[in-house]
A and B are shown apart, each in its own frame.
Chain A
Amino acid sequence: MSLLEIENLSLTIGGTRILRDIELSVAPGEVMGLVGESGSGKSMTALTVMQLLPWAARATGRVTFDGIDILSATEDQMCALRGDDIGMVFQEPMTALNPVKTIGEQVAEGIRWHTKASRAEAEERARKMLDRVGLPAAQFPLSRYPHELSGGQRQRVVIAIACALKPKLLIADEPTTALDVVLQAQILDLLRDLVAENRMGLLLISHDLAVVTEMADRITILRHGEVMEAGDTARTLSEQLHPYTRQLAQASMHVPARARAHEAGQGKPLLQVAKPLLQVERVTRDYPGRRISLFKRSAPIRAVNDVSFSMAPGQSVALVGRSGCGKSTLARMVLALDEPTSGTIRFRGQTITGKSEADLKPARRDMQVVFQDPYGSFDPRQKVEKLVAEPLHVLEKKPTNAERRQMVANALHEVGLSPDDMDKYPHEFSGGQRQRLSIARAIITRPKLVVADEPVSALDVSIRAQILDLFAELNQKLGIAYLFITHDLTVARAITEAVMVMHEGKIVERGRTNEVLDHPRSEAARALVTAAPDLHRAIARRLQEQG
């Protein structure tokens, strides 16, 4: 008998069809994986079960939870179910907790509401729950505020809130997407244990096929609001009967086809070249410690600690590490957006540390940046022509309007967009297209180096594959060197020839990408590699388990 049974569910919001004839069920103690790309209706399915849909949403069909007809339940009935029998965990732990309430209050609140327990009783139960999710009382008293916790710790608090009353069903909507791979593995372990302990049903929503394969007993693949394929996880993904399943699986494991120009120099040492494009020498960056009184500060925080490396022209290097390891700080210094506390950085032979903005202009021309978030990095009120042409102000000679339009048109063409797109606004593009725009903006000055900070982590797998192809193609065609900052090892493996592993401000391991990722020597690198979800491995393990 199923715990949750969704039959023929269709959903419209303000006349737009979001879901069509969704069929899905979750049994007690079962993990159901719901997979699909953004906009496929995964979250809306979850919110339908919770009845937390937007105001204008209209659902038809049948949703039964534990014998209760959800679609015809009153708001009071739903309030009794939410947080008690159905718990939910969300994607973004940084914003999922109320910043003005302590974690104790927030965990205890649901307990008090549903059980009418006294404050002291509820706090005691909250304490136990926080202990259970790995936040011991010694370091994480109930009086802590969310801002005093890291992203992974906050997600544990959200899980504690959702599981405090031992719900029959837990809905986890991309619970680890915002976390680095090591934290992701920890959170997934925690969820797996909670499912086993309480025979809880888990509806796990993710865009990441590898994560779902590791976790889910059965899988439902969604596209454009419709179920494409559903069934046993291992069988579905190993047989790949449905073309869309195949497409998704292939995109998740995509490696851009690259003529291995650099393979020739196999024997040469990487990251230590004779005529380097970029040379980082003993760079350290300290941030002032937090103020502990009016006149005193605690010891400074060393974000980057004595880092040296160099990059050859046209080389593509990955800088991998967990969140907070200092990789973004290092990237900012390479881009001369931040000054090292000590050490020097040379770009094309010129020192770029300690220079004025005017002196940096030639260097700026030759290095550009691509950011993670294709939504946040454009001014929504400017047209594409202006946005893509932004870096042109560093050119020595100001181009005429006609020249400028020509350069923008060329850049758009190179990233696979149409020159006609010049007169559109950013909101008219999809996430993948917007990332193409930021790449166009980066290459318009014909730079020698592009620093890309998690350039594909906000994108769906199929789009991600296309963007990785584009990066590889531009590397071949224009000879651009890349410094890829990422915590995603598949990205590093797909597109870079050398990798540096950063841990607590230091580079702890470096070498050829495949060698490092296949045989990591340092503990930090090993942790990253073991935690990284891998579709091949996950399917193989599943099949093995089932014999």
Chain B
Amino acid sequence: MQSLLGRRTGQNMTAYLLKRLIIAVLTLVLASMVVFAVLEIIPGDPARLMLGMNASADQVELLRNQMGLNAPLALRYLHWASGLLSLDFGRSYTYSVPVIDLVRERVVVSLPLALIALALSTLIAIPVGLFSAGRHGRAGDTIAMGAAQLGVAVPNFWFALMLIYLFAVWLRLVPAGGFPGWGAGVWPALKSLFLPAIALALPQAAILARVTRSALIEVLNEDYIRTARAKGLPYRTVLWRHALRNAMIPVLTILGLQFAFLLAGTIIIENVFYLPGLGRLVFQAITQRDLIVVESVVMLLVAAVIAVNLLVDLSYAVVDPRLRSRQ
């Protein structure tokens, strides 16, 4: 019977995984169409931009043909999309190097930054949420949630400036900006990512803490919490062992949704801290009408967000056994 149960659960799991995966791929395809279409609609001819204002119409036309800009829309989309699949993003109009090289250079800054910020926001938010929920309605809760409210309201670039002033200018613990590169050693590189990661993480942590708290408070009213208390477990233990895992579903959902905002936040934060990351790259590419770079980076970010949300979907099944056996 037990093995029977195991097999049934296993098969359900595969079906669930497969369904999520298919949905993720479809979303990605749809997103690529939207990204491609939007950039087609935006005014500004890349060929003219590359050649400058003085180029003749013939010269522009020639370059357009060379760049394949005159091919039919569907064909160009297919060409671009198949390129994406083989990691061939094309050549940047302004830098005249393959986009993949630009991306590779930048991603080693942005990816660690985003991951550190994500980890940091979770590490701050969940203990604060637990603390607040455990003291629901009392002074500690009010203070923690007041701080969270402030964290939600204050924009991250202002946090960034305050952090620079405190840690870089005043305490001189970390550099105020710039990135030495991983070649300069792991520690100096990490040190320069420290402030930007905090600046990114704080507003996210504030939202997440509030979600954690309200999810926990709801769970704490459940009957099974009373059952656990009636077993003789102290309140704290019940909070950690029984309430937290049940409260994880809404927390994970918000975590996945926030990842997109986190990536958007890197554009601002990388500019504040002069970090050579994807955010700065895409910012510059937009101002220079380097559409191929914009398209590629945006697609990369879309893929990252979809991947994270796929992970979130999968983690639901890890957290909640009902999802594993029920379809």
Residues of chain A touching chain B, judged by Cβ–Cβ distance below 8 Å, are: 50, 52, 75-76, 79-84, 87-88, 90, 92, 95-102, 106, 109-110, 113-114, 138-139, 141, 143-145, 147-148, 158, 161-162, 290-294
Q: Is the CB of A92 within 8 A of B223?
A: yes
Provided the pairs A80-B232, A114-B232 are in contact, do residues A90 and B226 lie with their beta carbons within 8 angstroms?
A: yes
Q: Is the CB of B229 within 8 A of A82?
A: yes
Bound-state CA distance A158–B12 (Å) is 28
- What does DSSP make chain B's interface, helix, strand, loop or mixed? helix
Provided the pairs A98-B224, A291-B15 are in contact, do residues A88 and B321 lie with their beta carbons within 8 angstroms?
A: no
Does B245 have its Cβ within 8 Å of any Cβ on chain A? yes
In the A-B complex, list the 4 residue pairs whose CB atoms are closest, starting with the nearest.
Answer: A83-B232, A110-B231, A83-B231, A82-B232
Bound-state CA distance A144–B12 (Å) is 16
Given A95-B223, A291-B327, 13 more A-B residue pairs with CB atoms under 8 Å apart are A79-B232, A79-B234, A81-B232, A82-B232, A90-B223, A99-B321, A100-B246, A101-B242, A110-B231, A113-B232, A141-B1, A147-B321, A294-B18
Chain A neighbourhood of B1, CB < 8 A: 138-139, 141
Residues of chain B touching chain A, judged by Cβ–Cβ distance below 8 Å, are: 1-2, 5, 8, 11-12, 14-15, 18, 222-224, 226-235, 241-242, 245-246, 319-322, 325-327
Which of A90, A110, A147 meets B232, CB within 8 Å? A110
Q: Is the CB of A98 within 8 A of B228?
A: yes
Which of A82, A100, A290 meets B321, CB within 8 Å? A100
Q: Is the CB of B232 within 8 A of A84?
A: yes
Q: Is the CB of B325 within 8 A of A82?
A: no
Q: 13 A-B pairs, CB-CB below 8 angstroms?
A: A95-B224, A98-B228, A99-B246, A100-B245, A101-B245, A138-B1, A143-B5, A144-B5, A147-B321, A147-B325, A148-B5, A161-B231, A290-B327
Bound-state CA distance A145–B230 (Å) is 20
| Interchain nearest-CB distance for A15 vs B (Å) | 17
Chain B neighbourhood of A148, CB < 8 A: 5, 325
**Could you say which of A96, A143, A147, A158 has the most chain B C-beta atoms within 10 Å of its C-beta?**
A96
Q: Is the CB of B232 within 8 A of A97?
A: no
Q: Is the CB of A99 within 8 A of B231?
A: no
Across chains A and B, the number of contacting residue pairs, with CB separation under 8 Å, is 102
Which of A97, A141, A162 meets B224, CB within 8 Å? A97
Q: Is the CB of A293 within 8 A of B11?
A: yes
Which of B228, B235, B319 meets A100, CB within 8 Å? B319
Bound-state CA distance A97–B5 (Å) is 20
Chain B neighbourhood of A290, CB < 8 A: 326-327
Bound-state CA distance A53–B325 (Å) is 36
Q: Is the CB of A88 within 8 A of B230?
A: yes
Chain B neighbourhood of A114, CB < 8 A: 232
| Interchain nearest-CB distance for A491 vs B (Å) | 27
Tell me the nearest residue of chain B to A297, going by C-beta. B327
Provided the pairs A147-B326, A291-B327, A292-B11 are in contact, do residues A96 and B232 lie with their beta carbons within 8 angstroms?
A: no
| Interchain nearest-CB distance for B226 vs A (Å) | 7
Chain B neighbourhood of A110, CB < 8 A: 231-233
| Interchain nearest-CB distance for B228 vs A (Å) | 7
Bound-state CA distance A109–B245 (Å) is 16
Which of A52, A88, A99, A292 meets B320, CB within 8 Å? A99
Chain B neighbourhood of A96, CB < 8 A: 223-224, 226-227
Tell me the nearest residue of chain A to B225, going by C-beta. A98
Chain B neighbourhood of A97, CB < 8 A: 224, 227
Chain A neighbourhood of B11, CB < 8 A: 292-293
Chain A neighbourhood of B322, CB < 8 A: 99, 145, 147
Tell me the nearest residue of chain B to A98, going by C-beta. B224
Chain A neighbourhood of B232, CB < 8 A: 79-84, 110, 113-114
Chain A neighbourhood of B222, CB < 8 A: 95
Chain A neighbourhood of B223, CB < 8 A: 90, 92, 95-96
| Interchain nearest-CB distance for B124 vs A (Å) | 24
